[in-house]
Protein backbone atom coordinates (compact mmCIF):
# COMPACT_ATOMS: atom_id res chain seq x y z
CA UNK A 1 0.00 0.00 0.00
CA UNK A 2 1.30 3.47 -0.92
CA UNK A 3 1.99 6.04 1.76
CA UNK A 4 -0.23 9.01 1.37
CA UNK A 5 -0.51 12.31 3.14
CA UNK A 6 -3.39 14.59 2.30
CA UNK A 7 -3.14 18.18 3.47
CA UNK A 8 -6.19 20.38 3.27
CA UNK A 9 -5.54 24.06 3.80
CA UNK A 10 -8.38 26.46 4.62
CA UNK A 11 -7.29 29.69 3.01
CA UNK A 12 -9.73 31.75 5.12
CA UNK A 13 -8.66 30.48 8.52
CA UNK A 14 -5.26 29.08 7.72
CA UNK A 15 -6.18 25.75 9.28
CA UNK A 16 -4.48 22.62 8.03
CA UNK A 17 -6.17 19.24 8.16
CA UNK A 18 -3.65 16.50 7.58
CA UNK A 19 -4.60 12.88 6.96
CA UNK A 20 -2.14 10.11 6.55
CA UNK A 21 -2.72 6.70 4.96
CA UNK A 22 -0.48 3.70 4.81
CA UNK A 23 2.11 5.06 7.24
CA UNK A 24 2.15 2.95 10.32
CA UNK A 25 3.03 3.70 13.90
CA UNK A 26 5.30 6.50 14.94
CA UNK A 27 6.36 7.02 11.36
CA UNK A 28 3.17 8.91 10.53
CA UNK A 29 3.88 11.34 13.36
CA UNK A 30 7.44 11.69 12.18
CA UNK A 31 6.46 12.24 8.56
CA UNK A 32 3.92 14.92 9.48
CA UNK A 33 6.37 16.62 11.80
CA UNK A 34 8.95 16.65 9.05
CA UNK A 35 6.52 18.46 6.79
CA UNK A 36 5.13 21.08 9.16
CA UNK A 37 7.93 21.58 11.66
CA UNK A 38 8.51 25.30 12.10
CA UNK A 39 5.72 26.15 9.67
CA UNK A 40 2.54 25.24 11.51
CA UNK A 41 1.71 24.27 15.04
CA UNK A 42 -0.03 20.96 15.59
CA UNK A 43 -2.91 21.55 17.96
CA UNK A 44 -4.71 18.27 17.85
CA UNK A 45 -3.58 14.74 17.15
CA UNK A 46 -6.10 12.05 16.43
CA UNK A 47 -4.07 8.90 16.02
CA UNK A 48 -5.48 5.55 14.95
CA UNK A 49 -5.86 2.56 17.29
CA UNK A 50 -3.26 0.86 15.14
CA UNK A 51 -0.73 3.50 16.15
CA UNK A 52 -1.40 2.99 19.87
CA UNK A 53 -1.30 -0.79 19.52
CA UNK A 54 2.00 -0.62 17.69
CA UNK A 55 3.34 1.93 20.17
CA UNK A 56 2.33 -0.29 23.05
CA UNK A 57 3.99 -3.27 21.38
CA UNK A 58 7.14 -1.25 20.83
CA UNK A 59 7.22 -0.10 24.45
CA UNK A 60 6.72 -3.65 25.67
CA UNK A 61 9.52 -4.83 23.44
CA UNK A 62 11.83 -2.09 24.71
CA UNK A 63 11.02 -2.90 28.32
CA UNK A 64 11.67 -6.56 27.67
CA UNK A 65 14.96 -5.66 26.03
CA UNK A 66 15.90 -3.54 29.03
CA UNK A 67 14.98 -6.28 31.45
CA UNK A 68 16.90 -8.82 29.38
CA UNK A 69 19.94 -6.53 29.28
CA UNK A 70 19.91 -6.08 33.04
CA UNK A 71 19.68 -9.77 33.69
CA UNK A 72 22.54 -10.49 31.37
CA UNK B 1 -67.97 131.14 15.30
CA UNK B 2 -66.73 129.61 12.13
CA UNK B 3 -64.49 126.69 11.80
CA UNK B 4 -62.38 125.48 9.09
CA UNK B 5 -61.61 121.94 8.65
CA UNK B 6 -58.46 120.96 6.99
CA UNK B 7 -58.04 117.41 6.02
CA UNK B 8 -54.64 116.02 5.54
CA UNK B 9 -54.22 112.76 3.90
CA UNK B 10 -51.65 110.90 5.80
CA UNK B 11 -49.13 108.72 4.19
CA UNK B 12 -50.35 105.24 3.62
CA UNK B 13 -50.19 103.55 6.93
CA UNK B 14 -50.75 99.85 6.71
CA UNK B 15 -50.13 98.97 10.29
CA UNK B 16 -53.11 100.42 12.07
CA UNK B 17 -52.14 98.78 15.31
CA UNK B 18 -48.91 100.74 15.43
CA UNK B 19 -50.63 103.93 14.44
CA UNK B 20 -53.25 103.44 17.10
CA UNK B 21 -50.52 102.74 19.59
CA UNK B 22 -48.86 106.04 18.78
CA UNK B 23 -52.07 107.96 19.07
CA UNK B 24 -53.14 106.31 22.26
CA UNK B 25 -49.76 107.04 23.76
CA UNK B 26 -50.58 110.67 23.11
CA UNK B 27 -53.85 110.45 24.96
CA UNK B 28 -56.11 110.19 21.96
CA UNK B 29 -59.45 108.68 22.81
CA UNK B 30 -60.39 105.70 20.74
CA UNK B 31 -63.87 105.23 19.44
CA UNK B 32 -64.14 102.11 17.42
CA UNK B 33 -66.99 101.13 15.10
CA UNK B 34 -67.29 98.30 12.65
CA UNK B 35 -66.15 100.53 9.82
CA UNK B 36 -63.79 103.00 11.42
CA UNK B 37 -61.62 103.88 14.36
CA UNK B 38 -61.95 107.43 15.54
CA UNK B 39 -59.30 108.94 17.70
CA UNK B 40 -59.68 112.42 19.00
CA UNK B 41 -58.03 114.82 21.37
CA UNK B 42 -58.47 118.49 21.80
CA UNK B 43 -60.05 119.15 18.46
CA UNK B 44 -57.77 116.87 16.53
CA UNK B 45 -59.19 113.65 15.20
CA UNK B 46 -57.98 110.79 13.13
CA UNK B 47 -60.38 108.53 11.37
CA UNK B 48 -59.08 105.23 10.20
CA UNK B 49 -61.46 103.63 7.80
CA UNK B 50 -61.73 99.90 7.39
CA UNK B 51 -60.19 100.21 3.94
CA UNK B 52 -57.06 101.66 5.51
CA UNK B 53 -57.70 105.25 4.66
CA UNK B 54 -56.65 107.58 7.42
CA UNK B 55 -57.93 111.05 7.69
CA UNK B 56 -56.84 113.68 10.10
CA UNK B 57 -59.09 116.53 11.06
CA UNK B 58 -58.28 119.32 13.31
CA UNK B 59 -59.71 122.55 14.43
CA UNK B 60 -58.09 125.40 12.58
CA UNK B 61 -57.91 127.30 15.80
CA UNK B 62 -55.60 124.73 17.22
CA UNK B 63 -52.30 126.24 16.28
CA UNK B 64 -50.38 123.26 17.28
CA UNK B 65 -52.49 120.91 15.16
CA UNK B 66 -50.12 120.62 12.18
CA UNK B 67 -47.17 120.12 14.41
CA UNK B 68 -49.00 117.46 16.40
CA UNK B 69 -50.04 115.62 13.26
CA UNK B 70 -46.50 115.78 11.87
CA UNK B 71 -45.13 114.52 15.13
CA UNK B 72 -47.65 111.72 15.18
CA UNK B 73 -46.80 110.68 11.63
CA UNK B 74 -43.08 110.86 12.30
CA UNK B 75 -43.47 108.98 15.50
CA UNK B 76 -45.53 106.41 13.74
CA UNK B 77 -42.85 106.01 11.09
CA UNK B 78 -40.09 105.80 13.68
CA UNK B 79 -42.03 103.36 15.79
CA UNK B 80 -42.88 101.34 12.72
CA UNK B 81 -39.27 101.25 11.61
CA UNK B 82 -38.21 100.33 15.11
CA UNK B 83 -40.75 97.55 15.32
CA UNK B 84 -39.79 96.39 11.85
CA UNK B 85 -36.13 96.36 12.76
CA UNK B 86 -36.90 94.52 15.96
CA UNK B 87 -38.98 92.01 14.09
CA UNK B 88 -36.31 91.49 11.45
CA UNK B 89 -33.67 91.13 14.12
CA UNK B 90 -35.84 88.68 16.02
CA UNK B 91 -36.59 86.76 12.86
CA UNK B 92 -32.96 86.70 11.90
CA UNK B 93 -32.06 85.52 15.36
CA UNK B 94 -34.68 82.80 15.25
CA UNK B 95 -33.71 81.80 11.73
CA UNK B 96 -30.06 81.82 12.63
CA UNK B 97 -30.78 79.78 15.73
CA UNK B 98 -32.85 77.32 13.73
CA UNK B 99 -30.27 77.18 10.98
CA UNK B 100 -27.52 76.76 13.53
CA UNK B 101 -29.49 74.05 15.26
CA UNK B 102 -30.05 72.28 11.97
CA UNK B 103 -26.43 72.78 11.01
CA UNK B 104 -25.27 71.48 14.34
CA UNK B 105 -27.59 68.50 14.10
CA UNK B 106 -26.48 67.88 10.52
CA UNK B 107 -22.84 68.39 11.38
CA UNK B 108 -23.18 66.09 14.34
CA UNK B 109 -24.87 63.50 12.15
CA UNK B 110 -22.26 63.94 9.40
CA UNK B 111 -19.44 63.77 11.90
CA UNK B 112 -20.88 60.61 13.40
CA UNK B 113 -21.45 59.18 9.95
CA UNK B 114 -17.97 60.10 8.81
CA UNK B 115 -16.45 58.64 11.94
CA UNK B 116 -18.34 55.40 11.43
CA UNK B 117 -17.30 55.32 7.78
CA UNK B 118 -13.69 55.94 8.77
CA UNK B 119 -13.82 53.18 11.36
CA UNK B 120 -15.50 50.86 8.88
CA UNK B 121 -12.97 51.63 6.14
CA UNK B 122 -10.14 51.17 8.62
CA UNK B 123 -11.51 47.84 9.79
CA UNK B 124 -12.13 46.67 6.21
CA UNK B 125 -8.63 47.72 5.24
CA UNK B 126 -7.13 45.93 8.23
CA UNK B 127 -9.15 42.82 7.41
CA UNK B 128 -7.95 42.89 3.79
CA UNK B 129 -4.36 43.33 4.90
CA UNK B 130 -4.71 40.43 7.32
CA UNK B 131 -6.25 38.23 4.63
CA UNK B 132 -3.50 39.14 2.19
CA UNK B 133 -0.78 38.41 4.77
CA UNK B 134 -2.41 35.07 5.59
CA UNK B 135 -2.63 34.21 1.90
CA UNK B 136 1.02 35.06 1.42
CA UNK B 137 1.97 32.99 4.45
CA UNK B 138 -0.13 30.04 3.27
CA UNK B 139 1.51 30.20 -0.15
CA UNK B 140 4.98 30.20 1.42
CA UNK B 141 4.09 27.31 3.75
CA UNK B 142 2.57 25.31 0.92
CA UNK B 143 5.73 25.76 -1.07
CA UNK B 144 7.94 24.67 1.83
CA UNK B 145 5.73 21.64 2.58
CA UNK B 146 5.90 20.64 -1.08
CA UNK B 147 9.70 21.04 -1.11
CA UNK B 148 10.04 18.95 2.06
CA UNK B 149 7.64 16.32 0.76
CA UNK B 150 9.50 16.02 -2.53
CA UNK B 151 12.78 15.81 -0.63
CA UNK B 152 11.31 12.87 1.31
CA UNK B 153 10.30 11.00 -1.83
CA UNK B 154 6.68 12.05 -2.12
CA UNK B 155 5.06 13.00 -5.38
CA UNK B 156 2.91 16.06 -5.05
CA UNK B 157 -0.47 16.83 -6.51
CA UNK B 158 -2.05 20.10 -5.65
CA UNK B 159 -5.70 21.05 -6.03
CA UNK B 160 -6.93 24.59 -5.50
CA UNK B 161 -10.53 25.14 -4.45
CA UNK B 162 -12.51 28.24 -3.53
CA UNK B 163 -11.58 28.28 0.14
CA UNK B 164 -9.69 25.04 0.38
CA UNK B 165 -6.46 23.90 -1.11
CA UNK B 166 -5.52 20.28 -1.11
CA UNK B 167 -2.01 18.93 -1.33
CA UNK B 168 -1.88 15.21 -1.93
CA UNK B 169 1.44 13.57 -1.22
CA UNK B 170 2.00 10.01 -2.35
CA UNK B 171 5.05 7.87 -1.81
CA UNK B 172 5.35 4.40 -3.24
CA UNK B 173 6.68 1.75 -0.98
In a domain, B40, yes or no: yes
DSSP A10: E
Across the interface, of A14, A35, A36, the residue whose CB is closest to B138 is A14
Measure in Å the smallest separation between the Cα of B126 and chain A Cα atoms.
15
Measure in Å the smallest separation between the Cα of A69 and chain B Cα atoms.
34
In a domain, B131, yes or no: no
Nearest CA in chain A to B166: A8
CB contact A10 to B (< 8 Å):
yes
Coil, helix or strand for B112? helix
In a domain, B22, yes or no: yes
In a domain, B54, yes or no: yes
CB contact A40 to B (< 8 Å):
yes
Q: Say if CB B76 and CB B19 are below 8 A apart.
A: yes
In a domain, B83, yes or no: yes
Give the pLDDT of residue A55: 64
Measure in Å the smallest separation between the Cα of B124 and chain A Cα atoms.
15
In this predicted complex, what is the ipTM? 0.76
- When divided into structural domains, chain B yields a total of 1
In a domain, B116, yes or no: no
Structural domain including B66 reads: 5-90
User: Cα angle vertex B145, ends B143, B149, to 5°?
Assistant: 120
In a domain, B113, yes or no: no
d(CA A45, CA A61): 24
Instruction: Write out residues 133-162 of B within 8 Å (CB-CB) of A.
Output: 134-135, 137-138, 141-142, 144-145, 148-149, 152, 154
- Using alpha carbons, list the distances in angstroms from residue B69 to B6, B54, B111: 12, 12, 60
In a domain, B28, yes or no: yes
Q: What is the pLDDT along chain B (173 residues), one digit of tens a residue?
A: 334 444 444 555 556 677 778 777 877 777 776 666 666 766 677 776 665 556 667 665 555 666 676 677 677 777 777 776 777 777 777 777 777 778 777 777 777 777 778 877 877 777 777 778 778 888 888 898 999 999 999 999 999 888 888 999 999 87
CATH assignment at residue B43: 3.30.310.10
Amino acid sequence: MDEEIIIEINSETGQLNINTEGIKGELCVDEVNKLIDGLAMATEWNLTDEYYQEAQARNTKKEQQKLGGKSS
Amino acid sequence: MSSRVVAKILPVIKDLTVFKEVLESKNFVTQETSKSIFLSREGISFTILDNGTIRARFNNQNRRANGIIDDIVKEYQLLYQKKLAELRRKLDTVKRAEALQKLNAQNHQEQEEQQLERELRKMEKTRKIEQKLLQDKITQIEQKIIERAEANGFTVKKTVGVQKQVIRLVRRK
